[in-house]
Structure 1
Amino acid sequence: MVRLRVQAAAALLLIAALLACALISFSTAQSDLHELASVSRPRAAAAADLYQTLADLDAQHAKSLVVGYSAAPPADGQPPTLVDDGVLASLTAQADRSRLGGDLTLLAQTSDTAGRSAVQSLLDSLSSYDALTGTEEFSATSQTDPVVGRPPVLALDYYDQAEGLLQQTLLPTVRGLLAGADQQVSADRSAAADHARLGALLLGLIGLVALVLMVWWQVDVARRHGRLLNPALLAATAALLAVALAGGLALLGAAGRIVGAVHDGYAPAAAVAQAQVSSANAEAVESRWLVDGAYRPSLQQQFDVMTRQLPGELTGVPGSGVASGPEAAFLTADSTLRSLAQGGQPDQAAVQLTGVTRGQIAFAYFDFSSRLGDLAAQRAAVFDSGVQAAGDDLSDWTAIAPVALGPALLLVVLGVRPRLAEYS
Structure 2
Amino acid sequence: MPSRLRWFTTGCLLLTTVLGAVGLTTAVGAQSAWSTIGDQQAPQVVDAAGLYQALTDLDGQSANLIMFGADGSLAGQRTAALSAYTADRTTADRDLQRATLDAAGNANVQHALQDVLDGMGRYQDLDGRALALNDAAHRPAGHPDPSAVADYRQATDLMRTTLLPAADRLVQANNDAYNHTYDTERSVLGTALWWTVALGVALLAALIGLQIWLAGRFRRLVNPALAAATLLVVVFTGLAGSMWADEREHLRYARRDAFDSVVALSRARAVAYDANADESRYLLDPGRAAQYQDAFETESQQILTLSGASISSYDTALAAAVTAYRADHADVRFGGFYGTEFHNITFTGERAAAEQTLAAYQVYERDDRTIRALADSGKLDQAIAFGTSYAPGASNAAFAEHDSALQKLIGINSSAYDQGVKDGRGELSSRIPLLIAAIGLALLLCLVGVRPRLAEFRG
Normalised by the length of structure 1, the TM-score is 0.92
> Does the alignment pair 1:315 with 2:339?
yes
- Pick one of 242, 245, 260 that aligns with 1:249: 242
Contact kept, 8 Å, 2:46 with 2:266, in 1: the verdict is: no
- Pick one of 164, 187, 193 that aligns with 2:157: 164
Contact kept, 8 Å, 1:251 with 1:394, in 2: the verdict is: no
- Aligned equivalents of 2:271 and 2:442: distance in 1? 61
* Deviation per residue, 1:145-176 (Å, 9 max, x gap): x2111111111111101111111111122122
- Pick one of 96, 106, 128 that aligns with 1:104: 96
Contact kept, 8 Å, 1:67 with 1:141, in 2: the verdict is: no
- Give the Å deviation of 1:328: 1.4
- Aligned residue in 1 for 2:19: 18
> Does the alignment pair 1:82 with 2:73?
yes
- Pick one of 407, 420, 434 that aligns with 1:386: 420
Contact kept, 8 Å, 2:116 with 2:163, in 1: the verdict is: yes
- Give the Å deviation of 1:224: 2.4
Measured at CA, do residues 24 and 83 of structure 1 come closer, stay the same or move farther in structure 2, by a change above 3 Å?
closer
Contact kept, 8 Å, 1:83 with 1:350, in 2: the verdict is: no
- Give the Å deviation of 1:116: 4.2
* Deviation per residue, 1:70-95 (Å, 9 max, x gap): 6xxxxxxxxxx533462211110111
- Aligned equivalents of 1:357 and 1:257: distance in 2? 44
* Deviation per residue, 1:29-79 (Å, 9 max, x gap): 111221122222122221111112212212211111221466xxxxxxxxx
Contact kept, 8 Å, 2:70 with 2:135, in 1: the verdict is: no
Measured at CA, do residues 102 and 282 of structure 1 come closer, stay the same or move farther in structure 2, by a change above 3 Å?
same
> Does the alignment pair 1:262 with 2:296?
no
Comparing 237-246 and 374-383, the one that deviates more: 374-383
- Aligned equivalents of 1:108 and 1:281: distance in 2? 24
Contact kept, 8 Å, 2:115 with 2:162, in 1: the verdict is: no
Contact kept, 8 Å, 1:251 with 1:393, in 2: the verdict is: no
- Aligned equivalents of 1:111 and 1:305: distance in 2? 30
- Aligned residue in 2 for 1:355: 389
- Give the Å deviation of 1:420: 2.4
Contact kept, 8 Å, 2:255 with 2:417, in 1: the verdict is: yes
- Aligned residue in 1 for 2:128: 134
- Aligned equivalents of 2:140 and 2:116: distance in 1? 35
Q: What is the identity, as a one-letter code, of the residue corresponding to 2:60? A: A
Q: What is the identity, as a one-letter code, of the residue corresponding to 2:423? A: A
Q: What is the identity, as a one-letter code, of the residue corresponding to 1:195? A: V
Contact kept, 8 Å, 1:236 with 1:408, in 2: the verdict is: yes
- Aligned equivalents of 2:144 and 2:363: distance in 1? 28
- Aligned equivalents of 2:14 and 2:230: distance in 1? 14
Measured at CA, do residues 83 and 409 of structure 1 come closer, stay the same or move farther in structure 2, by a change above 3 Å?
closer
Q: CA RMSD in A?
A: 1.9
Contact kept, 8 Å, 2:267 with 2:337, in 1: the verdict is: yes
Comparing 163-172 and 317-326, the one that deviates more: 317-326
- Give the Å deviation of 1:397: 4.2
Q: Sequence identity of aligned pairs in percent?
A: 28
- Aligned residue in 2 for 1:125: 119
- Aligned equivalents of 2:115 and 2:374: distance in 1? 42
- Pick one of 276, 301, 304 that aligns with 1:283: 276
Superposed, which structure 2 residues align to 1:215-226 within 5 Å?
Answer: 215-226=208-219
Normalised by the length of structure 2, the TM-score is 0.85
- Aligned equivalents of 1:297 and 1:170: distance in 2? 22
Q: What is the identity, as a one-letter code, of the residue corresponding to 1:338? A: R
- Aligned equivalents of 1:316 and 1:119: distance in 2? 27
Count of residue pairs brought into register by the alignment: 413
Contact kept, 8 Å, 2:53 with 2:274, in 1: the verdict is: no
Structure 1, unaligned stretches of length 5 or more?
71-80
- Aligned equivalents of 1:4 and 1:308: distance in 2? 74
* Deviation per residue, 1:299-343 (Å, 9 max, x gap): 323322322332222113123322111111112222222232233
Q: What is the identity, as a one-letter code, of the residue corresponding to 2:130? A: E
SS of the residue aligned with 1:149?
coil
- Aligned residue in 2 for 1:364: 398
**Runs of 4+ with deviation above 6 angstroms:** none
Q: What is the identity, as a one-letter code, of the residue corresponding to 1:99? A: T
Contact kept, 8 Å, 1:340 with 1:348, in 2: the verdict is: yes
- Aligned equivalents of 1:308 and 1:420: distance in 2? 78
SS of the residue aligned with 2:359?
helix
- Aligned residue in 1 for 2:47: 46
Structure 2, unaligned stretches of length 5 or more?
305-335, 346-350
- Give the Å deviation of 1:210: 0.4
- Aligned equivalents of 1:121 and 1:309: distance in 2? 23
- Aligned equivalents of 1:309 and 1:212: distance in 2? 58
* Deviation per residue, 1:100-143 (Å, 9 max, x gap): 11211221121125434643442332122112111111222222
Measured at CA, do residues 123 and 308 of structure 1 come closer, stay the same or move farther in structure 2, by a change above 3 Å?
closer
